[in-house]
Chain A
Amino acid sequence: MKKFLIPLLLFAVLVLFLGAGLRRDPHEIPSPLINKVAPNFSLQTLNGSTPFSPQQFKGKVWMLNVWATWCVSCRQEHPVLVAFSKQIGVPIVGLSYKEIQPQDDPEKKLDLASQLKLARERGSVWLEKHGNPYTLSVMDLDGRVGIDYGVYGVPETYIIDKEGIIRFKQIGPVTPQTLSETMIPIIRSLENS
C-alpha cells in the first residue's frame, strides 16, 4: 500500500524545487569564464593613441567594467565606481561597449574611423560629466570583445588576477554592498597571493 504514497512524495519533491526556484533568477547567466584566462584583445583607447591589451596588466589585479553612454543602469553604478576608484589602488579598465547604436546610423553611412571618433567624443563628454573611474577605457565598437568575454548586458564587471585569469564576474550594476561583501574581499585575497 506504500505505492499510494508515491504521488505525494513526488509532489513534495516538486514543491521543494519550485520553492528553491523562487529564489533564483532564471535570466542570469553565470560566466563559464571564471577561472579561465581572460580572452586577449587589442583595442583602441578612449584618449590614447596606442591600443591596449590585457597582457599589459599582467602582474596586477585589475577590473574590467563594461559600460556605455546609452546605458541607464550604468549611471546608477557609476558613482559607486568613481568612489571605489579613489579608495583602492586597483586599476579599472572601462570597456566602452557598442557605443554607436543602430539608431545613431540608420543609413550605415559612418565608416569605422568616424564611428570611433564619435564614440570617443561621446564617451569623453559623458565621463567628464559623471566622473571618470577608469585608468583607461577601450573602445569595443562592434561588441566582438564583449562576445569573447560573454557579455550579454550592460553593465558587467570582471575581476582579473595577476596571471590574467578571470576570478569574478558581476552581472548588473556594482552596488556598495556587492563591493564590500564580495568584490573587495576577492581583490584583497588576489593581491595577497
Chain B
Amino acid sequence: MIAELGQFVLILALIVAFLQFVLPMAGSLSEQHAWQYLARPTAWLQFVLVAISYGCLLTGFLRDDFSITYVADHSNHLLPLPYKFAAVWGGHEGSLMLWVLFLSIWTSLVAYFSKSLPIEIISRVLSVLGFISTGFLLFILFTSNPFLRSLPAPLDGHDLNPLLQDPGLVIHPPMLYMGYVGMSVSFAFAIAALITGRLDSAWSRWSRPWTVIAWSFLTLGIGLGSWWAYYELGWGGWWFWDPVENASLMPWLVSTALIHSLMVTEKRGGFKAWTVLLAIAAFSLSLLGTFLVRSGVLTSVHAFASDPTRGIFVLCFLAIVVGSSLMLFAWRAPKVTLGGSMGLLSKETFLLLNSVILAVSTGAVLLGTLYPLVIDALNLGKLSVGPPYFNLVFAPLMVPLLFILIPGTVAKWRSASVKEIMMELKWIAILSLALGAGLPFLIGEWSFGVFLGWTLGLWVGLGTLQHIVQRALRPGRIGGSFWGMQLAHLGLAVLVLGVTGVKSFEVEKDVKMSIGDEVTISPYVFKLTDIVETKGPNYKAYQAQIDVLKSGQKIEQLKPEKRRYASSAMAMTEAAISTNLWRDLYVSLGDSLPGSAQQWSMRVYYKPFVPWLWVGVLMMVLGGVLAAFDRRYRRLRTSNPVQTAAQMASSFGDQGESLQGTSYGQVVPELNGLNPVLETKQFQ
C-alpha cells in the first residue's frame, strides 16, 4: 500500500507543480493578476506532497519491504539502520526523489523568505522553479519510478553496495544535491529578471545570498566526496577527474564566478548580461551533470545504471530548459543597460578577470570530459582524456586566478592605481616568495611545483590576513559579508598549500608483512602486531593490528580491515588512518599471500598536509555561510520594502566600510539623482 500511496501522492505533486509553473506566470503576464498569488501556496503544497511521497519510499526501506523492486535492489534486512536511510538515494530512482524533495524545499524557502519581493517577481521565480519540478517529476513517473513492485517479493534484498555502506554516503549526496538544486534558485531569479525586464541591483542583491548558500552546499558536497573517496577506496587518492566528479566541479567553478560577478552588478550595475549568463550556466551545468551521470554516455565509476530512454528524456529536458533560457537571454540581454564606467584597472576588472578565468577553466573541464564523446560521435575513433590532461591544463589556469585574488581584494572600485596596489602588497609578495622558495629547501625536497604552489598559497593566505588586520584597525562595524569572504579566501589558501604539500611530499610503501615486521617511513615506524578475525552486522573481516611508533614511542594503534560482506563476493578494504593537523598516516590491508610464511600485503602511506585539504574546504563552506547570512540580506525579509531598501542602502558601503561621518550621497552615489523625497526626507 505504501508504494501505491507514494506513487499516487507523487502524481498529485506533479499536478501541483504544473499549476505552480503555469498559473503564477500566466497571472503575471496577463490580466489575471490574482493567479500570481497562487505561487506560494502551490509551492508549499508541492513540498508537502513530495515529502509524503518521499516518506513512503523511506518507509519501504525502513520496513524492509522487498516487494518494492527499488528497495530490494538497494537494501537488505541486515543493513544497519542509518544505511537504510541513506540507501534511499543509493540508486538512480531514489536519488531523483531526493532531487525533487530538495527542490521543493528550496522552493518553499524562497517562497517563505521573499515577503518583501514584489509579487510579479516572486510569481515568476516560483513559476520557473515549478517548471523544473514538473520536468523532474515527469522524469520520475515516466522513466524512473521507485515505487514499482516485483511480485513475488524476494526474501531478502541485494543489499546496498558495500562501498556505499559508510558514513560518507549518508551525507555526501544530500549535501551535493542541496548545492545542485540550489543553483536553480539563482537561475529562477535570472529568468524572472529577464522576463520582467528588471536586471537591476535589486535582482543581484536578492540572488546573491541564495547563490552563496547553494555554493556553500556544493563546496561541502564536493569536499565530502573527495574525503570519502580518500578514506574509503583504500589507496589515498582524492580526485580523479572522473566525469561525474567533473560534473560537480563545473557548476562549482561557474557559481564561484557568479558570486563574484554579482558583486560587480550589485555595486556598480556592470556586466549584468554576463552575470545573468553565468546564472543560467551554473544551473545548466547542474542539469548537464544529471544527464552525464544517468545516460550512459560516459564511463564512470560513479555512473548510475544507464538507460537510453532516461538519457533521451534528460537531454530533451536539458534542451528545453537551457535552450529557452538562452533564447530569452539572446532576446533580452542586448537591451540591458551598461551601468557605471570602470577603469581598465579597477576592482571590477579584477572581479571580471576572475569570471573569465573560471569560465575558461570550466570550458576546459567540459572540453576534456566531452572530447571522447565528440570524437566518437564524429566517427574519428575512441580516445581517453584522463588525469594527465586535466592536471596539465587546469593547474596552470589556476595560477593567474590565485595571483589576482589579492590585488583584486585590495583594488578600489571604479579605478585603481598600479602603484598603490604594488606598494600595499610589496611585503606580502616578498614574504610569500621567500617562504615559498625556502620552506621546500628546509624540508629537503625542492621542485618548481612546490615553490609555485606554496608561493601562491602563501600569497593568498598572507594577503588575506593583511587585509583583515588592516580592516580591523579601521573603525566601523564589519559585516558577515566581509568575514565570510576573508574566511573563504583563507580556506582556499589552506587548500592550495595542502594540495601542493601532499602531492610533493607523500610517501608510499607497498610491502609484504608477517607478524612482527615493521615498515619505516621516517620518523614513523609501523609494526604489525597481530591479525585477527572480526565481524560486523553484515560482514566478516580480517583485521590487522598495527602499532605506530614515533621516535620509539607508540603513539597510536591502527586497525585496517579486509571485509567480506554477506551479500556480495566483493572483498572490501577499510583503511585505517591516523590524523593530526599536519599529516595523515594511512594503512591499507591487502590480501594474504600464498606461501608458508603467514604474509599479508600492506600499503603504508605518509601523507603530509592532507588534513589541510579538508580544513580548507570547511573554511570555504563556513565563509560562504557567514557571507550569506550577513545582516544586509536578513533585513531584506522585513515586510516594509521601502524601509528595507533604505536600510540596505545605508549599510551598503564597501563590504562593511564605515559610513559614519560621510554623506550618503558621497558613499552611495547610486542615490544621487533618484527620488529626492527619499534622499532628503528620510536620510538627512
Contacts and interface: CB of A to CB of B under 8 A. Distances in A.
Interface of A: 1, 4-5, 7-8, 11-12, 14-15, 17-24, 26-30, 106-108
Contacts of A5: 330
Contact of B382 (A19, A20, A30): A30
Given A1-B334, A26-B299, A18 B315 contact: yes
Nearest to B372: A26
A4 B297 contact: no
- Interface SS majority for chain B: helix
Interface stretch (B27-35, B137-145, B212-220, B373-381): B373-381
Given A4-B333, A8-B329, A18 B299 contact: no
Given A12-B323, A24-B373, 7 more contacts: A4-B334, A8-B329, A11-B322, A15-B319, A17-B370, A22-B296, A24-B297
Contacts of A17: 370, 373-374, 377
Contact of B594 (A14, A15, A106): A106
Interface in B280-325: 280-281, 284, 291, 295-299, 308, 311-312, 315, 318-319, 322-323
Contacts of A12: 323
B160 interface: no
B381 A30 contact: yes
Given A4-B334, A5-B330, A7-B329, A26 B323 contact: no
B297 A8 contact: no
B326 interface: yes
Contact of B312 (A22, A24, A107): A22
Contacts of A30: 381-382
The SS class assigned to the A binding surface is helix
A12 B324 CA distance: 11
Nearest to A30: B382
Contacts of A23: 308
Contacts of B376: 21, 24, 26
B297 A26 contact: yes
Contacts of B311: 22
Nearest to B322: A11
B1 interface: no
A15 B326 contact: no
A30 B308 CA distance: 21
A22 B382 contact: no
Contact of A27 (B299, B326, B329, B334): B299
A79 B308 CA distance: 29
B326 A21 contact: no
Contacts of A106: 594
28 contacts: A1-B334, A4-B273, A4-B329, A4-B333, A4-B334, A7-B277, A7-B329, A8-B326, A8-B329, A8-B330, A12-B323, A14-B370, A15-B315, A15-B323, A17-B374, A17-B377, A18-B315, A18-B373, A19-B315, A21-B297, A21-B377, A22-B295, A24-B377, A26-B299, A26-B372, A26-B376, A30-B381, A30-B382
B93 to A, nearest CB: 20
B377 A20 contact: yes
A107 B312 CA distance: 49
A50 B297 CA distance: 47
A31 to B, nearest CB: 10
Contact of B315 (A22, A26, A107): A22
A15 to B, nearest CB: 5
B285 to A, nearest CB: 11
What are the 7 tightest A-B residue pairs by CB atom distance, in nearest-first order? A20-B377, A8-B326, A21-B373, A21-B297, A1-B334, A4-B330, A5-B330
Nearest to A18: B315
A5 B328 CA distance: 10
B677 interface: no
Contacts of A20: 373, 377
A171 to B, nearest CB: 12
B327 interface: yes
A8 B299 CA distance: 27
Contacts of A27: 299
Contacts of B374: 17
Contacts of A15: 315, 318-319, 323
Contact of A18 (B291, B333, B382): B291
B539 to A, nearest CB: 20
A17 to B, nearest CB: 5
A107 B591 CA distance: 12
A15 B291 CA distance: 11
A18 B377 CA distance: 9
B296 A26 contact: yes
